[in-house]
Structure 1
Amino acid sequence: MQHAALIVIDMQQGMAAPAAGQRNNPGAEDNIARLLDGWRAAGAPVVHVRHISRTPGSPFWPGQPGAEFQPRFAPLAAAHVVEKNVPDCFIHTGLERWLHVRGISRLVMVGVSTNNSVEASARTAGNLGFATQVVADATFAFAKRDFAGHARSADEVHWMALANLDGEYAQVVQTEALLSNLLAGVRSSCAPDQNPIVAS
């Protein structure tokens, strides 16, 4: 079984600005960086996704600093970069074809925000038949009001989004478990007649 592709969603400078709002998971960036380092060391495929807004004045409008990748998550030359205009990274991007051409059927999703681009992308990935995992402690969300007008904390938004996904469109996992499986996969790839498994 081949390596899973790590999908790093919308880790752009605009997401780190104070105007983005109250958020949860302050350690998410560290976990994303750990997973990114692990994937790179294993030579496994990495896809960087960034949102390019079609709304003038948006911090994600082309050419604005907010649209640029955070330096910590800037793609390397070997990485695939996807630019999207809607939350779902599969819509009008060619990502599905890129994955199929390379025989990639397993995806691990990290980034922001849990209830928006991550959830939308994971739903489509699951519906398209990809074995998809979303890393709970390597994603984060922002506080918002629900449709009834009740204030919901960033944690509440985050955990409900993950509850919507788990067991239906994806499996929700933690960073440590993925890193352990990644290391085991690298070790097994050094043994004869065995294939590496990145995620289970």
Structure 2
Amino acid sequence: MKQIKLLLFVLGMVSFASSHAQTHPNIAAISWEVAFPTNSNYLDKTSWAGGRVEYRRMVNKQFSIGAAISWNSFEQYVGTKTYDDGHRGAVTTDMIREVYTLPITLTGHYYFQTDNKIFKPYVGIGLGGQYAEQNAYFNIYGLTSNNWGFVARPEVGALLQFGRGVAGLVGVSYNIATNKNDEFDINGLKQFCVNIGIAGIF
């Protein structure tokens, strides 16, 4: 139910933006996203399996509002180790750890005005909710948990005009989410992200 309410809210905001800014172009983009976890004790291996889809509506020549959905899949092998929870006993095993994240944000971007018509730098921020799933596989057993948290995503980047209606997109962002999981010793999820993609301007 929370996911449905969040999605409806995002769609409503985008619809509102479109109805109040019909004289400026739309930007729709899809990009490959590489993510580097920065704070989790659970895993620290880079995710090369990620992406982002976003929509931006220009309110004027320098500002846009919109929505974005990203996803990242992290996986890391951990060698044999003894785990003792202090209550139920101890187990010695190797382990495969996984984290899947899905931040859904409303976005705002400011575009710097330059004389260069090809290169359009910007700064922005996304605010919203993040779904996260954590998995641990050891021997014949597995543990799975999922949760929601608030996410903030400041970013900097640029649009690179290739031709009429087509642009490249490059950006870096820092994903800060409040997802917690005591069982997996996760107190918030943070990751540095790099995006490379293509945008349609229409």
TM-score normalised to structure 2 length: 0.29
Greater fraction strand: 2
Greater fraction helix: 1
User: Which of these two proteins has the greater Rg computed from alpha carbons?
Assistant: 2
TM-score normalised to structure 1 length: 0.29
